């Protein structure tokens, strides 16, 4: 007898398989992130009262705590491990200065970021990224005692050698690699099977000192990609090396913060299938949604570090005396910046409007991802169904469908926590201006930060348009 199922049952089964195959999700809430916010409720309200909203609130102590945890996880007494902060995650002057104060090195992807790292006093800088201009490469060569350039292509090697010869400078370089498992990241670097040819060409470049290899994977919620790539590298690097051997392997960044964000259930594979079948509304919460979210399973950084060490020891250090280099960005800075918003209008119990728009995020991210929104003025440990919007003249200006609140009224202060990575970097002057940044130091003091002091006009070719300033 053939078993029959309804259309909804079949789609549900297919969706469940899609979810199981695509990612590790489980129903829950971001309790530790919410508790952390509520533990600092008085401080955040003080910042809002003193400086107004909207504001980016940079918590220096929180950044130091995250850096300390990362450094402790990757502490190794057997060989050197060097951490480089990825400026692209957040190049705000207050963040960069704090990173330097914490003793972290720099990872930059443009001449602007390189200039900032140099002027902030970083002595170890890796310069990566595609399509580096001659102006940017010359700037690196001027500071070759502090900069290692990760070559992105055969052509970039040739161009850098010509410029170095013209300037009579030598500089350390690495080679950026990609493998079949890199997905979109195959835009960067060279395929692993072309490495022998590039190493051979580097031997003829008398001004370039080839020292190591770099690869980068992003959005890593576990160590699988790092382990797989180190295994692939080990097989090839054994057979080809520069004259002085491989001195470093840079495994890049992409380490994902734990307890950071959740998925909307109706935007998962199963949810999208149900909406396409007409069972639920497309792209919006179904009527019977129970306010729970699907959390990503993220491997703790300590476990991830041990897996990387084990793979590095097995596939690299077993035959090669190389250092391990790291390039975290998101993991370090994301917990350290929060967005404070003021409630300007409450249309009714299920719609509230704030004074800050999602131009402060850079794009309409929270239509696709859930981050807890917490009412600092009237907090609660459970969510209420209230769609909270920003002040932009667009319907996509959404902060979330729920809020941790006992009630929401005009004048309340809300917080969108853990927005330190790729938020201030991507923020745009769309309809409304970008808001102020307020700094909270380790002693609990608050101050308004003037970011304009971070720029000058010494290198107009790099594209800077702001007025001169000094550090």
The domain locations on the chain are 31-42+336-441, 61-259+294-334
Confidence of residue 293 (pLDDT cuts 50, 70, 90): confident
pLDDT of 23 > 70? The answer is: no
* Backbone phi, psi, residue 332, to 5°: -75, -45
pLDDT of 205 > 70? The answer is: yes
pLDDT at residue 67 in the model:
98
pLDDT of 18 > 60? The answer is: no
**Residue 298 backbone zone (phi > 0: left; psi -120 to 50: alpha; other: beta):** beta
Confidence of residue 468 (pLDDT cuts 50, 70, 90): very low
Angle, helix 134-142 to helix 154-167, in steps of 10 degrees: 50
Asked if 168 contacts 206 with a C-beta cutoff of 8 angstroms, the reply is no
Report, as an integer, the average pLDDT of 384-397.
94
Confidence of residue 466 (pLDDT cuts 50, 70, 90): very low
Averaged pLDDT of the chain: 89
In whole angstroms, give the CA distance from residue 307 to residue 291.
35
61-259+294-334 CATH: 3.20.20.10
pLDDT of 471 > 60? The answer is: no
pLDDT of 91 > 80? The answer is: yes
pLDDT at residue 465 in the model:
39
Q: For domain 31-42+336-441, which CATH number applies: 3.30.10.20, 2.40.37.10, 2.60.40.10, 3.40.50.300?
A: 2.40.37.10
Report, as an integer, the average pLDDT of 142-153.
98
DSSP letter assigned to residue 135: H
pLDDT at residue 338 in the model:
97
pLDDT of 69 > 60? The answer is: yes
Q: How are strands ordered across the β-sheet holding 369-370?
A: 25-28, 293-296, 262-263, 369-370
In whole angstroms, give the CA distance from residue 11 to residue 279.
10
pLDDT at residue 454 in the model:
40
Q: What's the start-to-end Cα distance of the chain, in Å?
A: 79
Distances in Å between the Cα of 77 and the Cα atoms of 85, 311, 321 are 21, 16, 14
Confidence of residue 280 (pLDDT cuts 50, 70, 90): low
Asked if 43 contacts 439 with a C-beta cutoff of 8 angstroms, the reply is no
Report, as an integer, the average pLDDT of 21-49.
85
300-325 tens-digit pLDDT: 999 999 999 999 999 999 999 999 99
Query: 386: part of which helix (H) or strand (E)?
Result: strand 383-389
């Amino acid at each position: 007898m053939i078993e029959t199922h309804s259309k909804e049952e079949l789609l549900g089964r297919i969706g469940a398989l899609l979810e199981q195959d695509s990612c590790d999700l489980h129903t829950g809430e971001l309790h530790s992130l919410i508790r952390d916010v509520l533990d600092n409720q008085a401080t955040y309200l003080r910042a809002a009262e003193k400086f107004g909203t909207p504001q980016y609130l940079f918590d220096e102590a929180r950044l130091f705590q995250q850096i300390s945890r990362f450094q402790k996880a990757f502490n190794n007494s057997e060989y050197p491990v060097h951490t480089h902060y990825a400026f692209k995650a957040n190049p705000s002057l207050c963040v960069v200065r704090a990173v330097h104060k914490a003793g972290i090195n720099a990872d930059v992807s443009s001449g602007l970021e390189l200039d900032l790292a140099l002027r902030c006093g970083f002595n170890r800088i890796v310069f990566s990224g595609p399509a580096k201009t001659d102006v940017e490469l010359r700037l690196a060569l001027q500071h070759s005692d502090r900069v290692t350039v990760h070559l992105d292509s055969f052509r970039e090697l040739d161009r850098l050698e010509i410029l170095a010869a013209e300037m009579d400078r030598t500089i350390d370089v690495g080679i950026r690699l990609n493998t079949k498992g890199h997905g979109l990241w195959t835009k960067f670097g060279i395929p692993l099977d072309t490495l022998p040819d590039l190493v051979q060409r580097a031997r003829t470049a008398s001004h370039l000192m080839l020292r190591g290899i770099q690869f980068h994977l992003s959005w890593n919620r576990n160590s699988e990609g790092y382990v797989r790539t180190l295994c692939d590298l080990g097989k090839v690097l054994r057979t080809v090396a520069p004259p002085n051997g491989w001195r470093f392997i840079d495994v890049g960044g992409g380490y994902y913060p734990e307890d950071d964000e959740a998925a909307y259930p109706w935007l998962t594979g199963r949810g999208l299938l149900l909406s396409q079948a007409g069972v639920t509304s497309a792209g919006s919460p179904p009527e019977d949604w129970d306010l729970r979210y699907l959390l990503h399973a993220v491997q703790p950084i300590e476990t991830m570090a041990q897996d990387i060490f084990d793979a590095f020891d097995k596939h690299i250090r077993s035959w090669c005396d190389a250092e391990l280099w790291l390039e975290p960005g998101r993991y370090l800075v994301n917990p350290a910046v929060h967005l404070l918003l003021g409630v300007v209008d409450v249309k009714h119990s299920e719609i509230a409007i704030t004074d800050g728009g999602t131009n402060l995020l850079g794009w309409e991210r929270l239509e696709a991802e859930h981050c807890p929104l917490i009412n600092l003025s009237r907090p609660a440990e459970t969510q209420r169904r209230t769609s909270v919007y920003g002040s932009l003249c667009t319907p996509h200006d959404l902060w979330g469908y729920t809020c941790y609140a006992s009630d929401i009224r005009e004048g309340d202060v809300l917080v969108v926590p853990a927005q330190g990575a790729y938020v201030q970097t991507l923020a745009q002057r769309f309809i409304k201006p970008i808001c102020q940044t307020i700094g909270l130091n380790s002693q609990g003091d608050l101050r308004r930060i003037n970011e304009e002091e971070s720029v000058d006009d010494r290198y107009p070719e790099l594209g800077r348009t702001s007025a001169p300033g000094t550090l």
